[in-house]
Structure 1
Amino acid sequence: MAFTKLCTLDDVWEGEMESFQVDGHEVVVACLEGGDLKAYQGICPHQDIPLIEGKFDGKTLICRAHQWVFDACTGKGINPGDCQLASYPIRIEGDQVFIDTDDVKPLFAHT
């Protein structure tokens, strides 16, 4: 695994999400209720809409285009339930946040 610095803990506050470009990947980082960070593909698997343009309520990510909803803890689709966001391994050292993009490919779903 080759971890790359993504941001600092001050860049993503609890209940917020931010978008980053890392190693050619569009990544969305969500700070869940309770402060855990999750990193997912930054585009909706439906029609390549940037997820940062959607909504995040601390528990779910919602795409703005067609209201697809994803569980922010797992990346699993809620509506529809047969899709998934690709997840990036994340590591925190002090206040620095790192992710590993090796072998992670964005997932795409039915249309």
Structure 2
Amino acid sequence: MSFTKVCTLDDVWEGEMEPFTVNGHEIVLVCAEGGEISAFQGVCPHQDIALSEGTFDGKKLICRAHLWQFDAGTGKGINPDDCALAVYPIRIDGEDILVETEGVEPLFAHS
């Protein structure tokens, strides 16, 4: 696996999300309540809308268009529950946040 530095821990605070383009992949980094950092596809699987334009309450990402909701720890759909976000492996190296994009493709759902 080849990880790419995306940002530092100071760039994503607890309860925040930040969009990034990494090796041509649109991703969103989230720092959930408790400080766990995750990386997901940056677009809603419903209609390809940037998740960074939605909201994040520390537990779930909510798309602005149709209010689809995703668990910030797993990427699994909450509403609706039959969809999910692609998860990108991350690694923390000191203060740096690194993401692996190889082999990960965005997921898309029913309309």
List 4+ stretches of structure 1 deviating above 4 A: none
In 2, the alpha carbon distance for the partners of 1:41 and 1:101 equals 10
| Matched position secondary structure for 1:40 | strand
Q: How does 1:12-51 map to 2 (within 5 A)?
A: 12-51=12-51
Counterpart in the other structure of 2:94: 94
| Matched position secondary structure for 1:92 | strand
Instruction: Return 5+ residue gaps in structure 1 as ranges.
Output: none
Shift of 1:7: 0.5
Aligned residues: 111
In 2, the alpha carbon distance for the partners of 1:60 and 1:68 equals 10
Relative to the length of structure 1, the TM-score reads 0.99
Q: How does 1:72-83 map to 2 (within 5 A)?
A: 72-83=72-83
Shift of 1:88: 0.3
Q: How does 1:62-81 map to 2 (within 5 A)?
A: 62-81=62-81
Q: Which amino acid aligns with 1:48?
A: D
Q: Which amino acid aligns with 2:93?
A: E
Counterpart in the other structure of 1:10: 10
Relative to the length of structure 2, the TM-score reads 0.99
In 2, the alpha carbon distance for the partners of 1:23 and 1:93 equals 19
Shift of 1:87: 0.2
In 2, the alpha carbon distance for the partners of 1:100 and 1:73 equals 17
Shift of 1:78: 0.5
